[in-house]
Structure 1
């Protein structure tokens, strides 16, 4: 099968036994049996229907930013949408394919003097991943500007989900309960002043550079914010900031981040996450839930 799949879809770039550490923001993760890069929704649909017919497991990766792939890798087919990056604007409605970088979408909005997207100017994920997770920063969330998205379901059908269908909550959408792929999303923005929008984006970018450990590979914010607490402060108060576990380290710059400082493995990350959770529960009685998505198999 491994020799045949690229031949079955010669028009689609498909890699075999490809290490996912080459794509994840943590620079960790084992191999995918197959890694495909479709260029449009029709190619995505062809791949999904093939997997359905052949009983082959599949999953979707966006920009692989807020993600940990375990060291054993992923069986079956991994689909990355990084070649689906088209962004258009028409009468205040910004439409972006799922593989477009969220940051790029915010700058397209700026080019059209549209406001509402500024909060996302420093979020390193894809548009599809941002919708999937209801990504947010600096008091803004995807749900505040979301209009609709086109979703490919496991049976090969494509449906449009409106805001009412999405069940938006903190880092949650209805898509997370489905085996489905967001193909494109639409965001409703309003006309604003170009200079004011740009100034706000510059301000937020500087804040991110000041507070986040961008100099190291990381998966972004590891934990959801627990009600009534700040994750970083809990970790600081527990005396864990700066702690190393294998090649992974709780960032000395922001305790809510775990960075790869010395060829960390996914296992280093997962063991350190478990230790943080255990310590915070014991010391403060607070349960930390992961925001980062964890997928794949153990070695």
Structure 2
């Protein structure tokens, strides 16, 4: 289907201000990498998300969901079809010991909302840079806590455009894994079951974790956060450090000198350079220690056509 036709279809669902054409995705990723999306849409109502999903399903238009781009690399050729951002769906509410957060809300803000309500359980998330939807999608975790520890249920749009509630126990939540993408679901909101706690004690934990994060991680440069999953019995950062890879560069991408588990965009790197450095790190660690580092970061999109 021609892009002009797709655009006209989208205009029947969304205001023009919620549809961007030929949008550079590096504007929407933490790595500052990524080519153009044919269409970048930002609905602010559940029913509009449903309509976009139904349109793409019925007309066979490629549909790609991105969160806030914190754990994502988009290749330099960009993404064809429709890229869906739920950044406008960002409400967070509390109800007793439950916190309900929409997909586009920052998980950090969700942990702060829990603090304000004197609810304990989300302290571990106070430094995770992603959205609620992304955190649920990958069962994000830090400092000994994971989303699966506190998640009760999610509301999704399924691949047919229907609203469906799914219980946490049915999501196959494991280390940096869920079955959400396998089911073709798009998370609209998540409900977290927390416990009553003491404000000062919760805040002290969050302040300590924030200090640890800011003092150890290279937050001064664009990056995707922790690039690799933790290999069983090892720490990815330690393996990379012991492989003498810190400071290694390909183009504008560099293995962080501050934290070896991070690859930072220090000088207008291309996605190709960034991905090449990831592969170089994997190859070197495998050769030196026999350990295969598995990516935590998602890589999507197309290469630039020669």
For normalisation by structure 2, the TM-score amounts to 0.96
What is the aligned counterpart of 2:247 among 242, 246, 250?
242
Partner deviation per Cα, 1:149-187 (whole Å, 9 max, x = no partner): 011111112221112101111000111323220010000
- Aligned partner of 1:2 in structure 2 is 3
Aligned length: 299
Quick one: distance in 2 between partners of 1:259 and 1:266? 11
How far the C-alpha of 1:47 sits from its partner, in A, is 0.4
Q: Is the CA contact (8 Å cut-off) linking 1:68 and 1:295 kept in structure 2?
A: yes
Unaligned runs of 5+ in 1: none
**In the TM superposition, what are the counterparts of 1:258-273 in structure 2 within 5 Å?**
258-273=263-278
Moved over 2 A (4+): 1-12
Greater displacement, 10-19 / 82-91: 10-19
Q: 2:171 aligns with which of 154, 163, 166?
A: 166
1:37-52 equivalences in 2 (<5 Å): 37-52=42-57
Q: Which residue of 1 aligns with 2:283?
A: 278
CA distance in 1, matches of 2:185, 2:299: 17
Alignment of 1:75-90 (within 5 A): 75-90=80-95
Partner Cα separation in structure 1 for residue 169 and residue 67 of structure 2 = 23
172, 188, 193: which one aligns with 1:188: 193
Find the aligned partners of 1:105 and 1:199 in 2 and give their Cα distance: 17
Instruction: Work out whether residues 128 and 183 of structure 1, in 8 Å CA contact, stay in contact via their aligned partners in 2.
Output: yes
Q: 2:63 aligns with which of 58, 64, 80?
A: 58
CA RMSD of aligned residues (A): 1.0
1: CA distance, partners of 2:79 / 2:181: 18
Asked if 1:225 corresponds to 2:230, the answer is yes
Q: 1:146 to 1:10 in 2, by over 3 A?
A: closer
Distance of 1:9 and 1:162 partners within structure 2: 30
Corresponding residue number in structure 2 for 1:252 = 257
State the Cα distance separating 1:76 from its structure 2 match.
Answer: 0.5
Structure-2 separation of matches of 1:193 and 1:170: 29
TM-score normalized by structure 1?
0.98
Query: Is structure 2 residue 118 aligned with structure 1 residue 118?
Result: no
Range with bigger deviation, 10-19 or 94-103? 10-19
Structure 2, unmatched stretches of 5+, are none
Contact 2:14/2:43 (<8 A) preserved: no
| Corresponding residue of 2:183 | 178
CA distance in 2, matches of 1:180, 1:293: 17
Where does residue 11 of structure 1 map in the other structure? 15
